[in-house]
Structure 1
Amino acid sequence: MKIVHTTGPVNTQHLKAFLENNLNTRFKENRHMDMDLEYVDTENGLEIKLPELYDSFLFEIHLVNGNELHVAKSEHFVNDVNALTIEEILNSLLLDYSNKENNV
Structure 2
Amino acid sequence: QLRGEIDAEAAVAYGLDLKDMELVLQDFPLLDRGQIGLPGDAKSTITRDSVLAAMAKRTGRRSTVWSRRTVEARALGAMAYVPSELTLGGVGAEEEGVQNHG
TM-score (norm 2): 0.38
Pick the structure with more helix per residue.
2
Pick the structure with more strand per residue.
1
Report 1 or 2 for greater relative contact order, CA contacts < 8 Å, sequence distance ≥ 6: 1
TM-score (norm 1): 0.37
Higher CA-based Rg: 2
